[in-house]
Amino acid sequence: MRPTIKDVARKAGVSISTVSLVMNDRPVPLSPETKRAVLEAAQELGYRPNQLAIGLVTKKTNTVGLIIPDNSNIFFAAYTNHLETAANELGYSLILGNSNNSAEKTVHYLHLFADRGVDAIILAQSEFSDPEMTQKCLDAVRSLRIPVMLIDRLFRTRSTEAVLLDHFEGGYIAAQHLIGLGHRRIGCLSGPLGLTSFQERLAGFCQALEEADIPYDPALVVEGNLLADSAAPVLPALLKRHVSAIFAFNDMMAYGLYKELSRMKIRIPEDISVIGFDDLFFSDVLQPSLTTVAQPLDKMAKAVMSRLSQILREEAGGESLTQVFRPVLKVRDSTSVCRTETA
Decide which of 1.10.3720.10, 1.10.260.40, 3.20.20.70, 3.40.50.2300 is the CATH code for 5-49: 1.10.260.40
Query: DSSP letter string over 29-75?
Result: ---HHHHHHHHHHHHHHT----HHHHHHHHS--SEEEEEES-TTSHH
Distance from C-alpha of 11 to C-alpha of 8, rounded to nearest angstrom: 5
Nearest in space to 309 (alpha carbons), one of 83, 2, 100: 83
**Beta strand 186-190 with 120-125: parallel, antiparallel or unpaired?**
unpaired
In this prediction, residue 202 carries a pLDDT of 98
Distances (CA, A) of 105 to 83, 110, 114, 182, 192: 21, 9, 14, 46, 19
Distances (CA, A) of 210 to 98, 216, 253: 39, 8, 25
Phi/psi of residue 247, nearest 5 degrees: -100, 110
Q: How many residues does the chain have?
A: 343
**Cβ(9)–Cβ(16) below 8 Å:** yes
Distance from C-alpha of 54 to C-alpha of 192, rounded to nearest angstrom: 44
Distances (CA, A) of 240 to 187, 205, 237, 269: 11, 21, 5, 18
In this prediction, residue 16 carries a pLDDT of 81
- Do the domains spanning 61-166+297-327 and 167-294 agree at the CATH topology level? yes
Residue 337 DSSP symbol? -
E strand or H helix at 150, and its extent? strand 148-153
Residue type for position 165: L
Decide which of 3.90.180.10, 3.40.1190.20, 3.40.50.2300, 3.20.20.60 is the CATH code for 61-166+297-327: 3.40.50.2300
In this prediction, residue 341 carries a pLDDT of 53
- Residues 6 or more apart whose Cβ sits within 8 Å of residue 193: 199, 202, 223
pLDDT tens string, the chain, 343 residues long: the values are 678 878 878 888 888 888 777 777 677 778 888 888 888 888 887 777 655 554 544 457 899 999 999 888 899 999 999 999 999 999 999 999 999 989 999 999 999 999 988 999 999 988 888 888 888 888 898 888 899 999 987 765 556 789 999 999 999 999 999 999 999 999 999 999 988 899 999 999 999 999 999 999 999 999 999 999 999 999 999 999 999 999 999 999 999 999 999 999 999 999 999 999 999 999 999 999 999 999 999 999 999 999 999 999 876 566 778 899 999 999 999 999 998 754 4
In this prediction, residue 211 carries a pLDDT of 98
In this prediction, residue 335 carries a pLDDT of 98
Distances (CA, A) of 266 to 47, 88, 174, 193, 196: 62, 46, 22, 28, 33
In this prediction, residue 255 carries a pLDDT of 97
Distance from C-alpha of 71 to C-alpha of 68, rounded to nearest angstrom: 7
In this prediction, residue 207 carries a pLDDT of 98
Phi/psi of residue 65, nearest 5 degrees: -85, 140
Distance from C-alpha of 228 to C-alpha of 274, rounded to nearest angstrom: 14
E strand or H helix at 11, and its extent? helix 5-12
Query: DSSP letter string over 160-222?
Result: SEEEEE-HHHHHHHHHHHHHHTT--SEEEEE--TTSHHHHHHHHHHHHHHHHTT----GGGEE
Helix (H, G, I), strand (E, B) or coil at 324: strand
Domain borders along the chain are 5-49, 61-166+297-327, 167-294
In terms of CATH architecture, what is 167-294? 3-Layer(aba) Sandwich (3.40)
